[in-house]
Structure 1
Amino acid sequence: MTTHYPTLAQRVRSQRELQPDLYGDMDFDKRPYRLATEPDAPSALPRWVAAREPLLADERITELISTATMLGDTVADPLAALTAVHSVTELIAMVRLACREGVGAVTDAPPELVAFIAAMEATPEWVDADLVRAGARQARIDAALLAPFVTRGAFIATFTNTYAALPMALTGALSGRRAARRVNETASFFAVTTLPGALDRYGPGFEAAAMVRLMHSMVRYNALRRTDRWDPGIYGMPVPQVDQMPAGMINLYLLAIRARRQGRTEFDEIERSVVEFGRYRCFLLGLPEELLPTTAAGIIEVFHARAALLRDGFDDATCGELVRSTMDAYLRPGRTRFDRIADAVEKSWSRAAFILAFCNGNRKSARAMGVTIGATDIARIAATAPFVLGRFLAVRAVDRRLPGLRWAIDRYTTRLAEHRLVTYGNAEYLTDARQYSTAG
């Protein structure tokens, strides 16, 4: 019974009506096994992060996570289903053209494409455009100076739970080349969306969000229709919105944690702009407003509740292979001496970031998940910390304390972010159904 989020629950149930061929066999009123609602069930929420019991006792937050666990994308999924009659290449070309020139530029545009673009254009009333632009400025500093050294570690964190990681494993993204492409595409998306004007209607960030959204829907469609490994009774919805929320809001969660540790219950002006930017970017990715809190307490609560209700599980054949292939993947565009050194340094920083952020510094726990750090990694981090962290902290301090120099900071971080995009390569945002695993 839905008490607190009836609109969201109706959105979930409407999926069967919108896509009966895809979701007609799914029971949206039945909780999948991945939802760990039993008090004694092992979950993805470590005790050192937060207590699980108060979250389970809160009917409102439990209902929210349970409902969102069964939510796909009500406008992108019907578009992805057109791969039954259109080639993937043709469909992607239509989406790119619609993003760049408008739906009217697409000859005989399918109604599914029209609805998809219209949903992305329907900017919610809560969006403050000025705050979004200000938040993008702040996010661009991170994207230009810090993200390149920790993105791989954050990406790995999405593979540490069998129930959440299986869709990626089904795509066949276990080899080094495909793993590298996934990491670079993720880094590219988060970088391009921070560029000036990127999230405007005809900006490159808007298009990137549309492509990521379509890719997720293609994974969802192919997981249900092109493989026999997906059991909705166990896993629920492939790539549900509740699993996309952590990637889209991890930086907001870290802001909220920092505010709480400083004894604050409110975000300051700069933090508020970053939150607004992050929430709008998540809206473009299809997340419902219910999963996008505005307060530090609300953001922390939704993160912890999602983990508290996600059943614990680490299958080495799924999670372990994804972690190892991602950590081993070579991400640089060339093989020069500089490229090889830069790749080694980035891997060391990513290992450290993963261990500190997701294992509370416990190397044994990280090792069990396939991430190890050695003396050589620590030496690399120590040698490069003055450049990596020192530069980042210096630029951020100048930006905050000397408003008169922000124009120079903007030029510097924009130029560096654009350079990062060249390094990441052209993002394709593809998923190939021919590579999907069909093993039971």
Structure 2
Amino acid sequence: MTQAGQDHLWTKVEAQRERAPAMYGNVDFRIIPERFTATAGDPTALSGEYESERDALLADAERLDFIRAYTMTGDAAADAYASLMRDYSFRTLVDMLALACDQGVENVPDAPPELVDLIREMERTPDWVDMKLVEKGARIDRNSAANFGPFIIRGAFIATFMNKYAALPMAITGTLTTQTAARRVKDTATFFTTSLLPGALERFGPGFKAAAMVRLMHSMVRANVLRRPGEWDVSVYGIPIPQVDQMPAGLIAIFLLSYKMIAEGREQFTDSERAKVELARYRCFLLGLPEDLLADTPQGIVDLMNARSGTLLSGYDDETCGELLRATMAADLRPNNSLRARTHETFERAFAKLFFVKSFMGNDKEKAASIGVDLKAGDIALAAIAGIFIYARMRLYALAAHIPGLREIADRRLVAKLRAQLADYGHAEFTTDARQYRPSAKPAAAD
């Protein structure tokens, strides 16, 4: 990015104050929060096999400034709409957004300009988007989501709060109980599952609407957190749920794919890989991620993800991260108390424990047990059985996808499985506790 481009980026960052003064009126966007580190030797979220990439990152001053800017960036359009809590009730904002998604913003009586801006931004399909490719990516990903997804939702969700700087918004807004943790896991799973249904990301598809609701939820969290200066210190934590913190959830699959490709010496995606990348990028676009953060080459994807991890100061504290971890592990994700539901949860919980120990604890079972995840021999056996079951089913569906006639039957079956999962997850709320929201006065402008 040129110097002019960098200057333009920082202008957009600081413009958040004017666009959503109730939220950002007292924020100094030029500070370097404690969470952001460009100091050699500091422990960061970039660890393991990726840690060697940090030296190259620290030598790139332009990239460091780029990531710092997006560390201080929320979601301008959604934040402006969420700031209307001074004038509208929480429920009214949700209902107007739902109506705009279902029937078009032009059919929302007296739609505020902020709602119009949010919907129009989401409707602006970028030139690079190929919706046929997006649909192909969704079709490919349905196999994994239907067969592997139900076993990984708990374990994958844990990744979002293993760092205290990124996890604190959830702790502040009431995600520390097993009940609220269960709801949040299901809401997250609902969004990604919904986005894989046929036509879901089209303008009036359910994925489009779900993305809009997620954006409003994130902005509600920002508004809620920023009005608690005693609990949220911008000089330490930066902006709640900044754009860089939304990259891992939306891009982790294509990051791992890209990293593997680079290790193999490949520079070009295959047609199927390109479809998966297109799906991930467009889904993230609808979630509000700036196109600057949506690289389209293997190296570009790896560089951006490593830049985020390599500047996020490592930090785990038991009061925040540990409580979230234990609440999620203890959460009851069953849709009912049937034998089928109880059996699935037994295997799913064991699989989640194994996934956590391998992915976040370096396979150190004693360390995991010390923070509340006790992986026993029985869990490993159950996870192994689940793994064999998952692998066999995914292989069968993958084979069917290459056989004319069976391809359509298999895909219809996968769609049916995804719809059944959505029914089990229940109605997604995509909000934090509404009782915590109250109209807030417009703060004085920052000096």
- TM-score, with length taken from structure 2: 0.93
Q: Which amino acid aligns with 1:318?
A: T
Q: Which amino acid aligns with 2:55?
A: E
Distance 1:21 1:90, change over 3 A: closer
User: Among 76, 79, 82, which residue is 1:80 paired with?
Assistant: 82
CA distance, structure 1, for counterparts of residue 266 and residue 363 of structure 2: 25
Per-residue deviation, 1:403: 5.1
Deviation per CA, 1:233-280: give whole Å up to 9, x if none. Answer: 111101101001111111111221332343322211101000001100
Per-residue deviation, 1:360: 4.2
CA distance, structure 1, for counterparts of residue 61 and residue 372 of structure 2: 36
User: Among 297, 307, 310, which residue is 1:308 paired with?
Assistant: 310
Per-residue deviation, 1:365: 4.8
State the match for 2:441 in structure 1: none
State the match for 2:64 in structure 1: 62
User: Is contact 1:45–1:307 with CA below 8 Å preserved after alignment?
Assistant: yes
CA distance, structure 2, for counterparts of residue 159 and residue 338 of structure 1: 30
Q: Is 2:420 the counterpart of 1:419?
A: yes
Per-residue deviation, 1:141: 1.6
Q: Is 2:158 the counterpart of 1:124?
A: no
Per-residue deviation, 1:38: 1.2
Q: Is 2:272 the counterpart of 1:285?
A: no
Q: Which amino acid aligns with 2:83?
A: A
Equivalent residue runs for 1:23-422 within 5 Å: 23-51=24-52, 52-226=54-228, 228-367=230-369, 369-399=371-401, 401-402=402-403, 404-422=405-423
SS in 2 for 1:202: coil
CA RMSD of aligned residues (A): 1.8
CA distance, structure 2, for counterparts of residue 362 and residue 304 of structure 1: 24
Per-residue deviation, 1:342: 1.1
Instruction: Count the aligned residue pairs.
Output: 435
Deviation per CA, 1:126-181: give whole Å up to 9, x if none. Answer: 11111111111112222111111112111101111010000011111111111000
SS in 1 for 2:50: coil
Q: Which amino acid aligns with 1:289?
A: E
Q: Which amino acid aligns with 2:119?
A: I
Per-residue deviation, 1:404: 4.8
SS in 1 for 2:162: coil
CA distance, structure 1, for counterparts of residue 73 and residue 373 of structure 2: 31
User: Is contact 2:351–2:386 with CA below 8 Å preserved after alignment?
Assistant: no
5+ residue gaps, structure 2, are 438-447
5+ residue gaps, structure 1, are none
Per-residue deviation, 1:388: 1.4
Distance 1:126 1:76, change over 3 A: same
CA distance, structure 1, for counterparts of residue 289 and residue 200 of structure 2: 19
User: Is contact 1:345–1:381 with CA below 8 Å preserved after alignment?
Assistant: yes
Q: Which amino acid aligns with 2:221?
A: V
SS in 1 for 2:284: helix
SS in 1 for 2:296: coil
SS in 2 for 1:158: helix
CA distance, structure 1, for counterparts of residue 107 and residue 177 of structure 2: 38
Deviation per CA, 1:55-94: give whole Å up to 9, x if none. Answer: 1112232122111100101100011111222111111111
User: Is contact 1:172–1:435 with CA below 8 Å preserved after alignment?
Assistant: no
Deviation per CA, 1:26-52: give whole Å up to 9, x if none. Answer: 111111111011112221111433312
User: Is contact 1:174–1:321 with CA below 8 Å preserved after alignment?
Assistant: yes
CA distance, structure 2, for counterparts of residue 142 and residue 59 of structure 1: 39
User: Is contact 1:133–1:277 with CA below 8 Å preserved after alignment?
Assistant: yes
Per-residue deviation, 1:329: 0.2
SS in 1 for 2:76: coil
User: Is contact 1:171–1:433 with CA below 8 Å preserved after alignment?
Assistant: no
SS in 2 for 1:49: helix
State percent identity of aligned pairs: 48
Distance 1:281 1:257, change over 3 A: same
Distance 1:409 1:11, change over 3 A: farther
CA distance, structure 2, for counterparts of residue 145 and residue 287 of structure 1: 28
Distance 1:378 1:364, change over 3 A: same
User: Is contact 1:146–1:388 with CA below 8 Å preserved after alignment?
Assistant: yes
SS in 2 for 1:430: coil
User: Is contact 1:226–1:433 with CA below 8 Å preserved after alignment?
Assistant: no
CA distance, structure 2, for counterparts of residue 64 and residue 361 of structure 1: 34
Q: Which amino acid aligns with 2:215?
A: R
SS in 1 for 2:127: coil
